[in-house]
Each structure stands twice: as structure tokens, then as C-alpha cells.
Structure 1
Amino acid sequence: MNTKYDLIIVGAGALGTFHAYHAMQNGLKVALLEKDKAPISATVRNFGQVVPSGMDTKWQNYGRESLKIYNEIQSTFDISIRNNGSVYLASNNDEVRLIEELHQINKGNDYESVLLTKQQCLEKYEGLKDDYVKAGLFFPQEVTVEPRVMINRLLEYLINNKWLEFYNETKVVSCESKGDKVTVVTAKNKVFEASKVIICCGSEFKTLYPEVFEKSDIEVTKLQMMQTKPQGNYKLNGSILTGLSIRRYEAFYECPSFNEIKKNENPDSLEKKWGVHILFKQATDGSVIIGDSHEYADAANIDDLGFYLNMDIDEFMLAEAKKIFNLPTFEIQNRWFGIYSQCKNHDIFQHTIDNNIHIVTGIGGKGMTGSAGFSKENILKIFNKN
């Protein structure tokens, strides 16, 4: 039997690790259990764009808090944060209208954004095509991270400071509440005890509580991404979000013109069929990440999404990307997909069992941007520290 903890967290992705971080900031004794050697799922299979600007008002607030947390940690330990901003590039008059409206909304939210003219966009972003861009909206406070680096360095930071007891290759097979404690048993028959448990891993949620899982509104999304070969001396700063992003991101849903503009879109287009919006981000090795797409299935039918990459989707995304930027090379060195869980009717899945077991998952594409800020509030709520 291990030492009793104040909190055990199951799942060491961004959502679980930031819950651990904030619990320790509040003086709690924490164990973090990860089924794999290191996180291998959604947290490391994304762009690494921290873009509160793309979220609705509620989650923008979490995202802005996340920015503060990322920068605080980066100031003492390198977790790969780069302060290089985000831009939305409008390609037609409808999209210009939307970024102008979002600019006004963010003025009201006291969140800094800067409207860029066509010429300013062309000067700021090398290789941007003159016949694509009409205007831009720049968010100077936003950052990028290297996903496969960030989460492992964050764990290293917490472990090195002796704040965290981290157990990898530790699959949880049982989690039961008895009175004022929760007993957790692993596949290797190791037993942990805690006052509370937070389950942030969707697969272990499904294994531990299949009936709750089946009744949830969780669905899964498959996103395809690709990475070019290094681009030599070419430099592309920050997160680049384009016209299709303007038409997909939740922040724009709050714009007065959004519904009217969406009505005029072709429902049979390939970007609709595959849920494509074109993003660019340059990695630290000089390569450029391009994507992404969205295919959906109920969580119970995840196998319907297949285990292969749909090359028709990749070729469509590449063709669209080439309409936006002239990169030195579009030769692709890596292709992959990520699987993200999200909710059909809620912004995140939360369910409590016997007062002390808290299931928190299904954050979807908001994880890299929103987890740090959301977890800070959620720890205070779970431990009644508000």
C-alpha cells in the first residue's frame, strides 16, 4: 500500500498534468498515473497553437489564464513556449467582415488584437500570396509550443522540483470509493489511496466506468496533419489561421454576421465534408506543420474512423495550402492523425461518482489552449477552495 495522497490523477496529458500542477500549487500531495511510458495521444498530436482568440468568451478566459501560466513556467524552465502571436488571414469580404467584428468583440473583452491591412500581412508573412489575402487580425499575446516537447518538459519540471510523484506505464484497472478514501488498483496490482481521484484519460474512463461512458455524449474526432521538410532560411512566425479557420472557430460564432455568412456556404464542398480548415505553424527545426481535418464518430464507434490516413484529404489540404503560401518546399516528411474526444452537447465532460471520483475529459481541441486555465479553477472547485 502506497502513502495516501490528497489527489490521484489518471492520465498525464495536458489536462491531467495541469490539474496536478494546480493541486500542488495549493499544497496538495499528488500522484499522477500514466498508462504509457509518456503521453502519446491528443496532447502530442496537435499543432501546438495556444490561441484563446479562437474560443468563445468562456473558454477565451480559460485560455488567457493559460497564457499567464505558460509564461510563468517558461520564465523559470524551458517548456518550448515561443511568444510569436497568432494571425487570422481573411481571403474575401465576408471573412474581412468577421475579423473586423471579432476585433470589436475583443476590444470589449480587453484582449489585445490588431487589424492588419493586406499590405501589412504581405510584409509580415513571407511567401503569403497576394491573390489570397485581403486583411488580417493579429493577436500579439498568443504563443506556440512544441507539443511533443512541452508535456514531457512540464512533467520533468514538476518531478525535478519534487512536487509530483509520477508513475508511468501504470494502467489503472480499478477505482473504488470507500467512505472518505478512494482506492486505485493498477494492472501490476499496485494499490494507491487518495482522498480524491480525477480521471482525465478517456480510455481508462471507458474501462473503469463503461455504463457511465455509454450514456455520455462523448464523440471522437480524427484530425489529419502533415509536416514539411525543413524550409532552410525561410521564417514563418507564430500561428497562421486562414479563411476556413475563420469559418470554423467558435469565437466567430459570436460575431453578428456569422450566421448569415454561414448560410451562403456550399454544404457539399470538400472542406465541409472533411471538416478542413488550413493552419500553418513552423516548428523549431524549420519545418512547417500543415492541416487539419475533422472526421467524427460516436466514442463507442471509434473504429469506424479507421487506422489509416485518407490521402484524398491530405492532397486536398496541400492544394489549399498552396493557394495561400509559397513555401520553399511542400515536400512532406511526416504525416499523422490525432484522435480527440469531445462532447456533442457540452464544452467538456464532467461527472462525479460517490463525491470523491471526478471524471474530467472530452476537452476536444481546446486542450492545449484551455487546460491550464480550466484546471486551475477546477481544482479549487473540487477541493472547495473557492
Structure 2
Amino acid sequence: MENSFDLIVVGAGALGAFHTYFALQRGLKVLLLEKDARPMEATVRNFGQIITSGMATGEWFDYARVSLETYQKIQAECDISIRQNGSLYLASTALELQVLAEKHAQYAALGYAARLLTAAECRQRLPAVRDTYCVGGLLFEQEVTAEPDLLIHKLLAYLVARWQLDYRPATPVLAVTANAAGCEVADVRGQRYRAAQVLVCNGRDCRALFPDVFAQSDLQLVKLQMLATYPLPQVQLPGSVLTGLSIRRYHAFHDCPSFAHLLAEPMDADLRQWGIHLLFKQALDGSIIVGDTHEYADLAEADNLDFNNYDHLNQLMLGEARRILDLPDWRMQRAWNGYYTQSKSGEVFQHSPHPRIHIVTGIGGKGMTSACGFAAHHVAQLGLERRG
């Protein structure tokens, strides 16, 4: 039948697209439905940093390694904007550098390559870093970045061209139902589609489908503010640049022996209140993305995180950014918000309202880094098979 599939995926962000990719690799006939004309939520509103090194040791670090390998594999077939230009963590104090050294030793034991840099070596790689800030760093040369405004769109085009994906954007889904025989998905135009199983990767849209499930969940909405300079082609800023605040925030460092001492150190109250940790990444046009902030609300109060981009938060970020980098022009060309959901009790939210229907969302801020590897695991776990 024309509208009959092995799997229907609702939502074409990173989680939906990579579940689709691995299902297609298993030979399944897949339909991917996206409510917007183009994915336009968290998968495109980010830095494009793919930070395997920032994941806590264990299954999510393993997912991130699979993601890294998969990104590189796809890039070898089709340009999806992946660049192997590394990740550099900058330490601003001796204690931060001690934590980086401890992490370096842990990764050496895991066979994950890293290199400790002196302050002079950091400045050689990153001439814009201020001498007064940097005392050393930890470099992961194998890590990659992407262009967030290009990656998902190029990936979807690749899935259509290479794997014959049936992709239907601008197709909001009205209902998903199931019985022992299979699933039915209805869109807002009255079109109906059938499949053996359905995956709902709904991102932050928790009202259109299964609202009662989400109302009883522990999901919360997170709002971020980010900035981008005007193009600065004269500045050399390779890969992802992370800072002392990132070392405090990223779960990878929590098991380092000196981390508790680092966390106990005084921290600027405004930076702490607004969850600010400084990241930098230079886009293809030479502009530098700067961020970010974190504001939180339970789903019932999600409307409190409105569309406004507040200048006082931008100025807090820029004040800290100027302490780290010496740029020739600090004017901002763009400012925007990103939103994602995350579970307060787990790394990802999963719920199956029916044995054939699976909701997967709430992966938090690690979607670019680990959604791909998680999707590979989840598709295998579901045991999806081609019918007929």
C-alpha cells in the first residue's frame, strides 16, 4: 500500500533523523514526518559543537564515540558540514588545569586520545586567547564541529538521495494510534499512514501529541541565549573552544579527584544564577558564536520562558568573554534563543504508550553529540524488521 511503512518517525531533528538513518540501514521502509517546512528548533539553534570529551564516562560517552564515527562516515560519502578541527578546553587557574590533567589520564586509560597543552601551546593554537586568562589546556584533535544551520538539512537530503527516505516536511501530525495489527498516523490534512511501529521524537513540542503523558513527566524546558559576532576572518579560532566554566558544568569532569575542590571555589553569583558557561566556535563565514545561558521551567510553566533575548544576560556573557578572548570587534551581528527539553531524573525521556508507539525526547543539551549513537542503540534494541 502506498502509505504503508515499516516505521514512521515523527520529528526530523537530530533524534528523529538519526533513528531514521539507522532504520534505513536495516533495510526498513521509513516515513519521516516533520511539522515545519524545515527543522528549526534545537538541532539548528546551537553551536555545532560535537563534544564527545564532555560526556560522562559510561554509556553516554560510548554513544558519543559512535556518533563521532558516524558523522565522519557520512561526511566521507556526503558533505554534511563536518570538520575535524578539534576541541580545546582552556584552564584559567592551576586547579582547573589539575582537573584537566586528571581527565587526560582517565581518557588515556580508555584509549581516547587527548593532549595537554601549555599556556604557550594554547596561544599558538588560539592566538586570540588572553595571557591573563589561560594557564594551559586539554586538546582533543579528533573531535569535530558542524554548521548547525546546514547539518540537519544536508543530512536529510542525503537520506532521501542515498537511502530513498520518504520525507514529508510541513506535515504536522494530529494523532498516533495503535492496535495489535499496527499503527496509524493522521496528519492535519486528513492523510493517514500505517506502519508496524511509530517513533515520536517531538523535541520541545509537548502539547500536540500525548499531552497527558508529558503532563505527568519530569521533563523541563531549558532556554538558552546565544550571540554571534560579525565575520572576523582575521581571527584564527579552530574547532570548539571551551573554558573554565565549561569544566565545572560538563559531566565528564565530575569524577575527577579534584572536581569537588573546583566546585567549592567561589563563583560569580550572576554567572551561577543564569547557568552561564562560555563557549566559542567560529562559523564558516568567520563569525564567532558566543554563549550561553540556561533558564529552566517545568513543562506546566514553560510559557514563562518566552521569546525575549535579554540584553543584561548578553552583557554578562560578553563581560566574561572579553576576559577570555581578545577580539578586534565585539559587535554582535545576531542574538537568538534555543530551547530544548530534558529529563530531571534521566539522560533521555522514553515512554511507550503502546508497545508499538515509542516516545523519545528530552535528551537535553547533548543532542548534537550523542543523539546519533543513542539512536543506533535504540533502533537495535527495538528489533525493528522489514515487513513483507
Q: Which TM-score band applies after superposition, normalised by the shorter structure?
A: over 0.9
CA contact 1:239–1:280 (8 Å) conserved in 2: yes
Indicate conservation of the 8 Å contact 1:230/1:287, yes or no: yes
Q: Mapping of 1:257-276 within 5 angstroms?
A: 257-266=258-267, 269-276=269-276
Runs of 4+ in 1 over 3 A off after TM superposition: 202-206
- Aligned pairs (5 A) from 1:282-321: 282-321=282-321
Structure 1 residue 179: Cα displacement? 1.2
* Alignment match, 2:173: 172
Distance of 1:80 and 1:288 partners within structure 2: 16
The share of aligned pairs that are identical, in percent, is 46
Which range moved further: 322-331 or 285-294? 322-331
Give how far 1:123 is off. 1.2
Which residue matches 2:138?
137
Aligned to 1:13: 13
1:258 partner amino acid: F
> What is the aligned partner in structure 1 of residue 372 from structure 2?
372
The alpha-carbon deviation at position 157 of structure 1 amounts to 0.6
Residue 280 of structure 1 aligns with an amino acid whose one-letter code is F
Q: CA deviation at 1:101?
A: 1.0
Gaps of 5+ in 1: none
The equivalences for 1:225-244 within 5 A come to 225-244=226-245
TM-score by length of 1: 0.97
Look up the SS of the partner of 1:315 in the other structure.
helix
Alpha-carbon separation, structure 2, partners of 1:29 and 1:265: 55
Q: Shift of residue 94 of structure 1?
A: 1.6
Q: Distance in 2 between matches of 1:208 and 1:105?
A: 43
Asked if 2 retains the 8 angstrom alpha-carbon contact of 1:2 and 1:191, the reply is no
Three-state SS of the structure 1 residue aligned to 2:66 is helix
Q: Secondary structure at the match of 2:77?
A: coil
Partner of 1:95: 96
Alpha-carbon spacing, 1:195–1:384, altered in 2? closer, same or farther (3 Å): closer
RMSD over aligned Cα atoms: 1.3
Answer with 107-116 or 154-163: which moved more: 154-163
* Distance change (3 Å), C-alpha of 1:161 and 1:274: same
Aligned-partner residue type, residue 7 of structure 1? L
Cα distance in 2 for residues equivalent to 1:9 and 1:85: 32
> Could you report, residue by residue, the CA deviation over 1:167-207 in whole angstroms, capped at 9, with x for unpaired residues?
11111111001113000000011100000000001355532
Q: How many residues align?
A: 384
Alignment of 1:354-369 (within 5 A): 354-369=354-369
Over residues 284-314 of structure 1, what are the superposed CA-to-partner deviations in whole Å (9 max), with x where a residue is unaligned?
0000000001010012211111220111110
Q: Which moved more, 1:101-110 or 1:30-39?
A: 101-110
**Amino acid aligned to 2:278:** I
Counting only pairs closer than 5 Å after superposition, residues 32-47 of structure 1 correspond to structure 2 as 32-47=32-47
The aligned residue for residue 189 of structure 1 is: 190
CA contact (8 A) 1:2 1:193 kept: no
CA distance in 1, matches of 2:134, 2:305: 34
Counterpart Cα distance in 1 of 2:233 and 2:100: 32
Judge which range, 304-313 or 338-347, deviates more. Answer: 304-313
Which TM-score applies when normalising by structure 2?
0.97
In the alignment, structure 2 segments of 5+ residues that lack a partner are: none
Q: 1:149-164 maps to which residues of 2 (within 5 A)?
A: 149-164=150-165
Q: Corresponding residue for 1:327? A: 327
**Aligned-pair distance for 1:258?**
1.4
C-alpha distance in 2, partners of 1:118/1:328? 21
